[in-house]
Structure 1
Amino acid sequence: MQADAYFHKAANVEISIFGGMTHTEIAQPFPPAYHAIAEETERLGFTMPSDVQTCALLRTLAASKPGGAFLELGTGSGLATAWLLDGMGAHASLVSFDHDEALLAIARNYLGGDHRLSLVLADGADWVSANKEQSFDFIFVDTWHGKYLLLDEVLGMLRPGGLYIVDDMLPQPNWPEGHQEKAHAFIQQLESRADLWVIKQHWATGIIIGVKR
Protein backbone atom coordinates (compact mmCIF):
# COMPACT_ATOMS: atom_id res chain seq x y z
CA MET A 1 0.00 0.00 0.00
CA GLN A 2 1.28 3.48 -0.83
CA ALA A 3 2.29 5.90 1.92
CA ASP A 4 -0.36 8.42 0.88
CA ALA A 5 -3.04 5.80 1.44
CA TYR A 6 -2.46 6.34 5.15
CA PHE A 7 -3.67 9.94 4.88
CA HIS A 8 -7.23 11.07 4.33
CA LYS A 9 -7.30 13.24 1.22
CA ALA A 10 -9.66 16.17 1.59
CA ALA A 11 -11.25 17.63 -1.53
CA ASN A 12 -8.97 20.13 -3.22
CA VAL A 13 -11.41 23.03 -2.95
CA GLU A 14 -11.44 26.32 -1.10
CA ILE A 15 -14.00 26.64 1.69
CA SER A 16 -15.46 30.12 2.07
CA ILE A 17 -18.36 29.53 4.47
CA PHE A 18 -16.12 29.41 7.53
CA GLY A 19 -14.68 32.92 7.44
CA GLY A 20 -12.62 32.39 4.29
CA MET A 21 -10.88 29.26 5.57
CA THR A 22 -8.92 27.32 2.97
CA HIS A 23 -6.66 24.30 3.12
CA THR A 24 -3.52 26.23 2.24
CA GLU A 25 -4.03 29.71 3.63
CA ILE A 26 -1.35 31.15 5.95
CA ALA A 27 -2.87 34.48 6.98
CA GLN A 28 -0.83 35.33 10.07
CA PRO A 29 2.52 37.18 9.81
CA PHE A 30 5.65 35.29 8.80
CA PRO A 31 8.68 35.40 11.14
CA PRO A 32 10.80 38.54 10.58
CA ALA A 33 13.81 36.70 9.13
CA TYR A 34 11.92 34.17 7.04
CA HIS A 35 11.90 35.88 3.64
CA ALA A 36 15.58 36.85 3.83
CA ILE A 37 16.51 33.26 4.72
CA ALA A 38 14.32 31.97 1.88
CA GLU A 39 16.04 34.26 -0.65
CA GLU A 40 19.53 33.20 0.43
CA THR A 41 18.47 29.54 0.38
CA GLU A 42 17.25 29.91 -3.19
CA ARG A 43 20.47 31.65 -4.26
CA LEU A 44 22.45 28.77 -2.78
CA GLY A 45 20.48 26.36 -4.96
CA PHE A 46 19.08 24.29 -2.11
CA THR A 47 16.06 22.40 -3.46
CA MET A 48 14.60 20.82 -0.31
CA PRO A 49 13.53 23.71 1.95
CA SER A 50 10.88 23.23 4.61
CA ASP A 51 7.34 23.72 3.35
CA VAL A 52 5.73 26.93 4.61
CA GLN A 53 2.59 25.10 5.76
CA THR A 54 4.76 22.75 7.80
CA CYS A 55 6.55 25.75 9.28
CA ALA A 56 3.31 27.48 10.26
CA LEU A 57 2.13 24.33 12.02
CA LEU A 58 5.44 24.10 13.88
CA ARG A 59 5.05 27.64 15.20
CA THR A 60 1.53 26.94 16.42
CA LEU A 61 2.57 23.74 18.18
CA ALA A 62 5.70 25.38 19.62
CA ALA A 63 3.50 27.89 21.42
CA SER A 64 2.02 25.00 23.42
CA LYS A 65 5.40 24.50 25.15
CA PRO A 66 6.21 28.07 26.30
CA GLY A 67 9.13 27.11 28.53
CA GLY A 68 10.03 23.91 26.77
CA ALA A 69 13.25 22.33 25.56
CA PHE A 70 13.15 21.96 21.75
CA LEU A 71 15.23 19.85 19.36
CA GLU A 72 15.38 20.19 15.58
CA LEU A 73 17.15 17.45 13.63
CA GLY A 74 18.16 18.98 10.33
CA THR A 75 18.47 22.77 10.49
CA GLY A 76 18.93 23.26 6.78
CA SER A 77 19.15 27.02 6.23
CA GLY A 78 16.93 27.79 9.21
CA LEU A 79 13.54 28.23 7.55
CA ALA A 80 11.68 25.96 9.98
CA THR A 81 13.96 27.15 12.78
CA ALA A 82 12.69 30.70 12.33
CA TRP A 83 9.09 29.56 12.74
CA LEU A 84 9.91 27.46 15.80
CA LEU A 85 11.60 30.44 17.46
CA ASP A 86 8.63 32.64 16.59
CA GLY A 87 6.29 30.32 18.50
CA MET A 88 8.56 29.56 21.44
CA GLY A 89 8.35 31.34 24.77
CA ALA A 90 11.03 33.67 26.12
CA HIS A 91 12.39 30.99 28.45
CA ALA A 92 12.33 28.09 25.99
CA SER A 93 15.46 26.69 24.33
CA LEU A 94 16.15 25.14 20.93
CA VAL A 95 19.03 22.92 19.86
CA SER A 96 19.26 22.53 16.08
CA PHE A 97 21.97 20.68 14.18
CA ASP A 98 22.95 20.05 10.59
CA HIS A 99 25.97 18.62 8.78
CA ASP A 100 25.97 21.22 5.97
CA GLU A 101 28.14 24.22 6.90
CA ALA A 102 26.92 26.39 3.99
CA LEU A 103 23.28 25.97 4.96
CA LEU A 104 23.98 26.33 8.66
CA ALA A 105 25.81 29.60 7.96
CA ILE A 106 22.58 31.11 6.62
CA ALA A 107 20.73 30.13 9.78
CA ARG A 108 23.57 31.47 11.93
CA ASN A 109 23.61 34.78 10.04
CA TYR A 110 19.92 35.52 10.56
CA LEU A 111 19.05 33.63 13.74
CA GLY A 112 22.32 33.20 15.61
CA GLY A 113 21.70 36.24 17.82
CA ASP A 114 18.72 34.61 19.51
CA HIS A 115 19.88 33.53 22.98
CA ARG A 116 17.36 30.66 22.98
CA LEU A 117 19.01 28.96 19.99
CA SER A 118 22.05 26.68 19.87
CA LEU A 119 23.14 25.87 16.31
CA VAL A 120 25.46 22.88 15.98
CA LEU A 121 27.47 21.64 13.01
CA ALA A 122 27.34 17.87 13.40
CA ASP A 123 26.58 14.58 11.70
CA GLY A 124 23.20 13.27 12.81
CA ALA A 125 24.41 9.90 14.05
CA ASP A 126 27.31 11.47 15.94
CA TRP A 127 25.13 14.08 17.62
CA VAL A 128 22.42 11.65 18.68
CA SER A 129 24.95 9.13 19.99
CA ALA A 130 26.70 11.82 22.05
CA ASN A 131 23.50 13.35 23.47
CA LYS A 132 21.23 10.40 24.27
CA GLU A 133 20.96 11.49 27.91
CA GLN A 134 19.34 14.82 27.01
CA SER A 135 15.55 15.16 27.10
CA PHE A 136 13.17 17.43 25.20
CA ASP A 137 9.55 18.56 25.19
CA PHE A 138 9.38 19.02 21.42
CA ILE A 139 11.32 17.22 18.68
CA PHE A 140 11.03 18.13 15.00
CA VAL A 141 12.72 15.69 12.63
CA ASP A 142 13.61 16.98 9.17
CA THR A 143 16.36 14.51 8.33
CA TRP A 144 16.82 10.74 8.27
CA HIS A 145 18.14 10.51 11.82
CA GLY A 146 15.24 10.36 14.22
CA LYS A 147 13.01 9.02 11.46
CA TYR A 148 14.51 6.24 9.35
CA LEU A 149 17.67 5.99 11.47
CA LEU A 150 18.07 5.99 15.29
CA LEU A 151 14.35 6.28 15.89
CA ASP A 152 14.45 4.53 19.27
CA GLU A 153 17.29 6.72 20.45
CA VAL A 154 15.57 9.96 19.48
CA LEU A 155 12.20 8.96 20.92
CA GLY A 156 14.06 8.03 24.08
CA MET A 157 14.91 11.74 24.40
CA LEU A 158 11.24 12.76 24.33
CA ARG A 159 9.67 13.58 27.68
CA PRO A 160 6.17 12.32 28.63
CA GLY A 161 3.65 14.63 26.99
CA GLY A 162 6.30 15.78 24.51
CA LEU A 163 5.60 16.33 20.82
CA TYR A 164 7.37 14.39 18.05
CA ILE A 165 6.80 15.81 14.56
CA VAL A 166 7.97 14.56 11.16
CA ASP A 167 7.24 15.90 7.69
CA ASP A 168 7.56 14.68 4.07
CA MET A 169 5.39 11.63 4.64
CA LEU A 170 3.36 12.03 1.44
CA PRO A 171 5.05 11.05 -1.84
CA GLN A 172 7.45 13.76 -3.02
CA PRO A 173 8.86 14.35 -6.53
CA ASN A 174 12.42 14.02 -5.26
CA TRP A 175 11.92 10.64 -3.56
CA PRO A 176 14.38 8.04 -4.90
CA GLU A 177 13.22 4.61 -6.00
CA GLY A 178 12.16 2.50 -3.04
CA HIS A 179 11.62 5.42 -0.65
CA GLN A 180 7.84 5.11 -0.71
CA GLU A 181 8.11 1.61 0.73
CA LYS A 182 10.51 2.94 3.38
CA ALA A 183 8.00 5.65 4.35
CA HIS A 184 5.21 3.07 4.51
CA ALA A 185 7.26 0.87 6.85
CA PHE A 186 8.14 3.87 9.03
CA ILE A 187 4.47 4.83 9.44
CA GLN A 188 3.61 1.27 10.45
CA GLN A 189 6.48 1.26 12.93
CA LEU A 190 5.27 4.48 14.57
CA GLU A 191 1.70 3.24 14.82
CA SER A 192 2.80 0.02 16.48
CA ARG A 193 4.63 1.78 19.33
CA ALA A 194 3.11 1.51 22.79
CA ASP A 195 4.81 4.69 24.01
CA LEU A 196 3.39 7.09 21.42
CA TRP A 197 -0.01 8.42 20.42
CA VAL A 198 0.15 9.15 16.68
CA ILE A 199 -1.99 11.22 14.32
CA LYS A 200 -1.41 11.56 10.55
CA GLN A 201 -2.25 14.84 8.82
CA HIS A 202 -2.79 15.38 5.10
CA TRP A 203 -1.27 18.83 5.44
CA ALA A 204 1.68 20.32 3.56
CA THR A 205 4.04 17.47 2.59
CA GLY A 206 2.36 15.01 4.96
CA ILE A 207 2.77 15.46 8.70
CA ILE A 208 2.83 12.95 11.52
CA ILE A 209 2.45 14.21 15.09
CA GLY A 210 3.20 11.92 18.01
CA VAL A 211 2.80 12.55 21.73
CA LYS A 212 4.87 10.58 24.25
CA ARG A 213 2.64 8.51 26.51
Structure 2
Amino acid sequence: MDEYNKILNPLKAEELLIRASQIGFDASCDILTGNFLRLLVASRKQINILELGTGVGHSTAWILEGMDESSKLYSVEMNEECSSIAKEILGNDQRLELIVCDGAEYIMEHANRRFDIIFADTWPGKFYLLEEVLKMVKSGGIYIIDDLNPQPNWPEGHGEKVKELITYLESRDDFFISKLNWSTGLILMTRKV
Protein backbone atom coordinates (compact mmCIF):
# COMPACT_ATOMS: atom_id res chain seq x y z
CA MET A 1 0.00 0.00 0.00
CA ASP A 2 1.33 3.42 -0.95
CA GLU A 3 0.15 5.81 1.77
CA TYR A 4 1.01 8.82 -0.42
CA ASN A 5 -1.15 7.68 -3.34
CA LYS A 6 -4.28 9.79 -3.91
CA ILE A 7 -3.60 12.36 -1.17
CA LEU A 8 -5.03 15.65 -2.35
CA ASN A 9 -3.17 18.61 -0.88
CA PRO A 10 -5.12 21.61 0.35
CA LEU A 11 -5.36 24.36 -2.24
CA LYS A 12 -2.75 26.62 -0.62
CA ALA A 13 -0.38 23.94 0.74
CA GLU A 14 2.15 24.14 -2.08
CA GLU A 15 2.33 27.94 -1.87
CA LEU A 16 2.94 27.70 1.89
CA LEU A 17 5.77 25.20 1.41
CA ILE A 18 7.40 27.41 -1.23
CA ARG A 19 7.24 30.40 1.09
CA ALA A 20 8.64 28.31 3.97
CA SER A 21 11.58 27.31 1.78
CA GLN A 22 12.22 30.94 0.82
CA ILE A 23 12.71 31.92 4.47
CA GLY A 24 14.58 28.74 5.45
CA PHE A 25 11.76 27.31 7.58
CA ASP A 26 12.12 23.51 7.54
CA ALA A 27 9.67 22.44 10.24
CA SER A 28 6.38 22.28 8.29
CA CYS A 29 4.30 19.22 9.02
CA ASP A 30 4.68 16.10 6.92
CA ILE A 31 2.04 15.49 4.23
CA LEU A 32 0.90 12.28 5.98
CA THR A 33 0.48 14.15 9.26
CA GLY A 34 -1.43 16.91 7.49
CA ASN A 35 -3.73 14.39 5.83
CA PHE A 36 -4.29 12.67 9.20
CA LEU A 37 -5.12 16.00 10.88
CA ARG A 38 -7.64 16.80 8.13
CA LEU A 39 -9.27 13.40 8.62
CA LEU A 40 -9.53 13.80 12.40
CA VAL A 41 -11.00 17.29 12.15
CA ALA A 42 -13.47 16.25 9.44
CA SER A 43 -14.90 13.60 11.77
CA ARG A 44 -16.23 16.26 14.17
CA LYS A 45 -18.58 19.20 13.82
CA GLN A 46 -18.84 22.54 15.64
CA ILE A 47 -15.53 22.16 17.44
CA ASN A 48 -12.81 24.40 18.83
CA ILE A 49 -9.27 23.50 17.84
CA LEU A 50 -5.96 24.78 19.24
CA GLU A 51 -2.82 24.54 17.16
CA LEU A 52 0.39 25.35 19.03
CA GLY A 53 3.03 26.17 16.43
CA THR A 54 1.50 27.57 13.25
CA GLY A 55 4.83 27.84 11.45
CA VAL A 56 3.96 29.26 8.02
CA GLY A 57 0.54 27.58 8.17
CA HIS A 58 1.07 24.28 6.35
CA SER A 59 -0.64 22.13 8.99
CA THR A 60 -3.15 24.96 9.48
CA ALA A 61 -4.22 24.59 5.84
CA TRP A 62 -4.84 20.86 6.31
CA ILE A 63 -6.86 21.48 9.49
CA LEU A 64 -8.94 24.22 7.85
CA GLU A 65 -9.79 21.97 4.93
CA GLY A 66 -11.28 19.37 7.29
CA MET A 67 -13.28 21.86 9.37
CA ASP A 68 -16.98 22.55 8.99
CA GLU A 69 -18.22 26.14 8.84
CA SER A 70 -19.19 26.18 12.54
CA SER A 71 -15.77 25.19 13.86
CA LYS A 72 -13.01 27.56 15.00
CA LEU A 73 -9.22 27.17 14.85
CA TYR A 74 -6.93 29.14 17.16
CA SER A 75 -3.36 28.89 15.88
CA VAL A 76 -0.43 30.26 17.88
CA GLU A 77 3.02 31.15 16.51
CA MET A 78 5.70 33.33 18.07
CA ASN A 79 7.78 33.82 14.91
CA GLU A 80 6.35 36.96 13.30
CA GLU A 81 7.85 36.22 9.87
CA CYS A 82 6.24 32.78 9.76
CA SER A 83 2.95 34.05 11.14
CA SER A 84 2.82 36.85 8.57
CA ILE A 85 3.04 34.27 5.77
CA ALA A 86 0.19 32.27 7.32
CA LYS A 87 -1.85 35.45 7.66
CA GLU A 88 -1.18 36.53 4.08
CA ILE A 89 -2.16 33.17 2.59
CA LEU A 90 -4.81 31.86 5.02
CA GLY A 91 -5.91 34.95 6.93
CA ASN A 92 -9.14 35.53 5.02
CA ASP A 93 -10.71 32.39 6.49
CA GLN A 94 -13.18 33.54 9.16
CA ARG A 95 -12.85 30.23 11.02
CA LEU A 96 -9.17 30.96 11.74
CA GLU A 97 -7.72 33.15 14.46
CA LEU A 98 -3.96 33.57 14.06
CA ILE A 99 -2.26 34.60 17.29
CA VAL A 100 1.29 35.94 17.31
CA CYS A 101 2.78 35.25 20.74
CA ASP A 102 4.86 32.74 22.63
CA GLY A 103 2.91 29.49 23.01
CA ALA A 104 3.74 29.44 26.73
CA GLU A 105 2.09 32.85 27.18
CA TYR A 106 -1.01 31.71 25.34
CA ILE A 107 -1.26 28.53 27.41
CA MET A 108 -0.93 30.41 30.71
CA GLU A 109 -3.42 33.12 29.69
CA HIS A 110 -6.00 30.61 28.40
CA ALA A 111 -5.53 27.74 30.84
CA ASN A 112 -9.26 27.70 31.64
CA ARG A 113 -10.30 27.21 27.99
CA ARG A 114 -11.23 23.76 26.75
CA PHE A 115 -10.68 22.46 23.23
CA ASP A 116 -11.99 19.49 21.28
CA ILE A 117 -8.65 18.99 19.52
CA ILE A 118 -5.19 20.26 20.43
CA PHE A 119 -2.31 19.81 18.02
CA ALA A 120 0.92 20.65 19.85
CA ASP A 121 3.60 21.10 17.21
CA THR A 122 6.06 23.16 19.23
CA TRP A 123 7.85 23.00 22.58
CA PRO A 124 5.19 24.58 24.83
CA GLY A 125 2.37 22.11 25.27
CA LYS A 126 4.63 19.23 24.33
CA PHE A 127 7.94 19.43 26.21
CA TYR A 128 6.89 21.95 28.84
CA LEU A 129 3.54 23.19 30.13
CA LEU A 130 2.31 19.74 29.16
CA GLU A 131 0.07 19.37 32.22
CA GLU A 132 -1.55 22.72 31.54
CA VAL A 133 -2.28 21.80 27.92
CA LEU A 134 -3.61 18.34 28.75
CA LYS A 135 -6.07 20.00 31.15
CA MET A 136 -7.27 22.11 28.21
CA VAL A 137 -8.48 18.97 26.37
CA LYS A 138 -12.24 18.47 26.77
CA SER A 139 -13.68 15.17 27.92
CA GLY A 140 -13.62 12.99 24.79
CA GLY A 141 -11.24 15.49 23.19
CA ILE A 142 -8.03 14.73 21.32
CA TYR A 143 -4.41 15.71 21.98
CA ILE A 144 -2.00 15.03 19.12
CA ILE A 145 1.75 15.52 18.72
CA ASP A 146 4.14 14.67 15.91
CA ASP A 147 7.88 14.55 15.18
CA LEU A 148 8.55 11.75 17.68
CA ASN A 149 10.78 9.75 15.34
CA PRO A 150 14.32 11.09 14.82
CA GLN A 151 14.38 14.19 12.61
CA PRO A 152 17.40 15.74 10.87
CA ASN A 153 16.71 19.13 12.49
CA TRP A 154 16.71 17.83 16.09
CA PRO A 155 19.15 19.59 18.43
CA GLU A 156 21.70 17.47 20.28
CA GLY A 157 20.14 15.59 23.21
CA HIS A 158 16.59 15.99 21.91
CA GLY A 159 16.14 12.24 21.49
CA GLU A 160 16.27 11.76 25.27
CA LYS A 161 13.58 14.43 25.77
CA VAL A 162 11.35 12.61 23.30
CA LYS A 163 11.84 9.28 25.11
CA GLU A 164 10.98 10.90 28.45
CA LEU A 165 7.88 12.52 26.95
CA ILE A 166 6.63 9.23 25.48
CA THR A 167 7.25 7.36 28.73
CA TYR A 168 5.34 10.02 30.67
CA LEU A 169 2.38 10.03 28.27
CA GLU A 170 2.23 6.21 28.41
CA SER A 171 1.91 6.41 32.21
CA ARG A 172 -1.25 8.55 32.22
CA ASP A 173 -4.52 6.83 33.06
CA ASP A 174 -6.86 9.72 32.18
CA PHE A 175 -6.29 9.35 28.42
CA PHE A 176 -6.43 6.55 25.89
CA ILE A 177 -3.21 6.59 23.85
CA SER A 178 -2.21 5.40 20.41
CA LYS A 179 1.42 5.59 19.25
CA LEU A 180 1.76 5.72 15.48
CA ASN A 181 5.21 4.74 14.21
CA TRP A 182 4.36 6.31 10.89
CA SER A 183 4.91 9.65 9.16
CA THR A 184 7.21 11.53 11.56
CA GLY A 185 6.01 9.53 14.58
CA LEU A 186 2.74 10.60 16.20
CA ILE A 187 0.94 10.18 19.48
CA LEU A 188 -2.82 10.54 19.55
CA MET A 189 -4.53 10.69 22.92
CA THR A 190 -8.22 10.96 23.82
CA ARG A 191 -9.33 12.16 27.24
CA LYS A 192 -11.47 9.49 28.89
CA VAL A 193 -15.11 10.45 29.40
Q: What TM-score, normalized to structure 2? A: 0.97
Identity %: 42
Aligned equivalent of 2:111:
132
**Aligned ranges 1:113-124 → 2 under 5 Å:** 113-124=92-103
**Alignment partners' CA distance in 2, 1:106 and 1:56:** 21
Instruction: Name the structure, 1 or 2, with higher relative contact order (CA <8 Å, separation 6+).
Output: 1
Aligned equivalent of 1:180:
159
In the alignment, which of 154, 158, 166 is matched to residue 133 of structure 2? 154
Per-residue CA deviation, residues 2-30 of structure 1 (Å, 9 max, x unaligned), is xxxxxxxxxxxxxxxxxxx32x3141321
**1:148 aligned partner, one-letter code:** F
Confirm or deny that 1:194 pairs with 2:179.
no
In structure 1, stretches of 5+ residues that fail to align are 1-20
- Residue 181 of structure 1 deviates from its aligned partner by 1.0
Question: CA-atom RMSD, angstroms?
Answer: 0.9
Large movers: runs of 4+ above 6 Å: none
**Alignment partners' CA distance in 2, 1:86 and 1:80:** 10
- Residue 105 of structure 1 deviates from its aligned partner by 0.6
In structure 2, stretches of 5+ residues that fail to align are none
Confirm or deny that 1:76 pairs with 2:81.
no
Aligned equivalent of 1:17:
none
Aligned equivalent of 1:60:
39
Contact 1:70 1:139 in 2 (8 A): yes
- Residue 64 of structure 1 deviates from its aligned partner by 1.5
**Alignment partners' CA distance in 1, 2:57 and 2:21:** 13
Aligned equivalent of 1:6:
none
The secondary structure found in structure 2 opposite 1:29 is coil
- Residue 34 of structure 1 deviates from its aligned partner by 0.8
**Alignment partners' CA distance in 1, 2:88 and 2:37:** 21
Aligned residues: 192
In the alignment, which of 13, 28, 35 is matched to residue 49 of structure 1? 28
